[in-house]
A and B are shown apart, each in its own frame.
Chain A
């Protein structure tokens, strides 16, 4: 869990070892911070260590975690961030609510919701790839457009209260919220597949060094399309869970997720410069960030403090990310015997998995 499968090295064997240790550092730091928070809260009030707290935290984790997977994929691929997640989330949630009200079978609704999110991601990718525009600006703009367009369609939406989805949104499996399990499943599957599949390694390679990836025959366009579509599908899935878990929502309801999702991605060690990150660590970062507001409530602090803490954590995380980048660049280059023939472009991901893209 701690090793960074996604492009662990920037500078060969020595660097790879260092970054692996660094990956464990991230894991241990996150785990330690989370346990410390739990311990302090538990010392303050013993009833913090109760099932109600676990439920509150895991409910909060569910949607944030699913969105964080999509956001992490975008970051690892070098797409920086997808700021249009709130729109794809609400678009999916709204269509889910409408279809359920029309009596469409839940299975069909699930497929449509995820597909809709994927389509939104695909739309983003179209603009980014063919317009050759900066992803963060494009997704910021599409989010503006999307929210405004959603306002033209609806003001408030509700999934039918007696629908299977709403029951799922408040139900439990093995003592934990139903909606938490799809998040865990998604994190585990994506986290396992990313460094182990050809497509995953291409994603990492493009984020690590696009020139080198291109030299290896990796299609930037296709990869970016795939990444943004997958991220959109994640947001679509989150929208589905959101519609099930919320009694009612408005077109702007997704905006509150952006801050914790980005913070979770950075805290998990995903590099905003691309090419590095471990999806599995999202379980820790999302868990930690989801525990903060619950802990604050036990300290009697208002929800305004939650935003203060999340903002501070985000700044800290960005600073750590910048530090990591600098440190990675400063790692000593290993002395190698230069092989005869043309020099090869150096790529972190390709160094891990040479010739497999």
Chain B
């Protein structure tokens, strides 16, 4: 019996070490998939968000267009990726890819892999479909919203001999490492939303998007409460680093532009990690600690975080006067929109691949790589933010439907052109 107990305790310690280390949550979600990116052909393990994530064989464009959520069958001929040539230059490797000199590229896509957001999956699906439309090879891995995984994935892309990489890396602290690896391998890289010197920047001006959302919310506060809310709640997502600063901070700044007299002590924050379910209990405690607040505004990194605060107010019976404005448009379409979510700023993130292919990859494939523009101020391709009220959002399809419509639209058409009511 004593021996049994001892044995049990050893097991317990092992399990509890995982729990107490605080990494269990991420371990459960990420480590198993992340631990397996040894080869992209084992993609399902590397990216749990999409079943056949890292298949290297090209698939039929038609099937993918019809159903972007699933991988299509492979019947197109895989092209042999040309190894990067010697036409390298310190300035990132574009010439090398051009030196591939084939009309067909082998494109690597590192999706974000944050569990917060459905669009991350579709971002990969759309890229896959566009690659298939062109008859290109496509390799997809998930960064699992984890820096070390992003670095491992970079190694895999290099091993696979891809001609270009698209990165959505939510952990920008490792971007310099990625840049070094890709530069050494002379692989051009497109980065979404988070600038990195030497990477083509495709994305939104997050600060501009934050400001736009904040101003829209400020206008509501001005009309409804004469710019005198009791509390301005920020649903932060510190893990997103500078993006959180731009978006959430930008929303606060945008709000201050319309309502400059809100005193600083009325601004409070909580960590939502960009997820409603994570933010809910924290926001509930925050609201309990401000029992006097009635008129409340909520800004945040994304719709999910904002929704967490709104739900908390509803549970505490204080939802009469709470108004939120989100970012990314994840929860402002469809039949389940919370009545207190007044609007969101759409970036149509799932459709970023259109910009990447149109402005960067197609020219590379054609042998005339564009100059590297690596800042949000002077991007390779700029995605327009689209602030949309809840009423306007009713006419915008949900993420999956948007992705499907995008893939059936004429080549080069963006979602902003298709869906934004303020073109």
Contacts and interface: CB of A to CB of B under 8 A. Distances in A.
B20 A315 contact: yes
Closest 6 CB pairs between A and B? A255-B25, A297-B285, A151-B48, A56-B288, A252-B29, A253-B277
Contacts of B278: 253, 256
A246 B29 contact: no
Interface of B: 1-2, 5, 8-9, 11-12, 14-16, 18-20, 22, 24-26, 28-29, 32-33, 44, 48-51, 115-118, 120-121, 270-271, 275-278, 280-282, 284-289, 291-292, 304, 307-308, 310-311, 314-317, 330-331, 335-338
B117 A156 contact: yes
Interface in A166-183: 169-170, 172, 177
Contacts of B29: 147, 151, 251-252, 255
Nearest to B47: A151
B307 A248 contact: yes
B113 to A, nearest CB: 10
A232 B179 CA distance: 47
A249 interface: yes
B12 A148 contact: no
Given A47-B291, A161-B338, A253-B277, A272 B12 contact: yes
Contacts of B115: 151, 155, 250-252
Given A158-B336, A247-B338, A311-B20, A81 B15 contact: yes
A253 B26 CA distance: 10
B28 A86 contact: yes
Contact of B15 (A140, A156, A158, A255): A140
Contacts of B22: 259, 307, 311
A250 to B, nearest CB: 4
Interface in A204-263: 209, 211, 242, 245-253, 255-256, 258-259, 262
17 contacts: A52-B291, A56-B287, A60-B281, A60-B284, A80-B11, A81-B15, A140-B18, A148-B33, A160-B336, A245-B280, A248-B276, A255-B25, A259-B20, A294-B289, A297-B282, A302-B271, A304-B271
A140 B26 CA distance: 13
A293 B32 contact: no
A318 B10 CA distance: 12
Given A155-B117, A246-B277, A250-B277, A303 B271 contact: yes
A144 B292 CA distance: 43
Which of B33, B49, B281: most chain A CB closer than 10 A? B281
Interface residues of A, number: 71
A322 interface: yes
Interface in A326-347: 329
Given A50-B288, A302-B271, 9 more contacts: A53-B288, A55-B288, A209-B1, A245-B280, A246-B280, A247-B308, A248-B307, A249-B277, A314-B19
Contacts of B275: 248-250, 253
B114 to A, nearest CB: 9
A137 B13 CA distance: 12
A344 to B, nearest CB: 15
A256 B279 CA distance: 11
Q: Which of B116, B284, B289 has the most CB of A within 10 A?
A: B289
A314 B15 contact: no
Contacts of A177: 315
Nearest to A177: B315
Q: Is the interface of A mostly helix, strand, loop or mixed?
A: helix
A123 interface: no
B69 to A, nearest CB: 10
A80 to B, nearest CB: 6
Interface in A266-292: 272-274
A148 B53 CA distance: 13
B277 A248 contact: yes
A151 B51 CA distance: 9
Contact of B276 (A136, A140, A247, A274): A247
Contact of A136 (B1, B12, B311): B12
A249 B282 CA distance: 15
Given A52-B288, A248-B331, A148 B25 contact: no
Contact of A245 (B307, B315, B338): B315
Nearest to B337: A161
B236 to A, nearest CB: 9
Contacts of A78: 8
Contact of A297 (B19, B24, B289, B311): B289
Contacts of A53: 288
A137 B271 contact: no
Interface in A122-177: 134, 136-137, 140, 143-144, 147-148, 151-152, 155-156, 158, 160-161, 169-170, 172, 177
Contacts of A45: 289
B282 to A, nearest CB: 4
A211 B29 CA distance: 38
A55 B315 contact: yes
Contacts of A246: 276-277, 280, 311
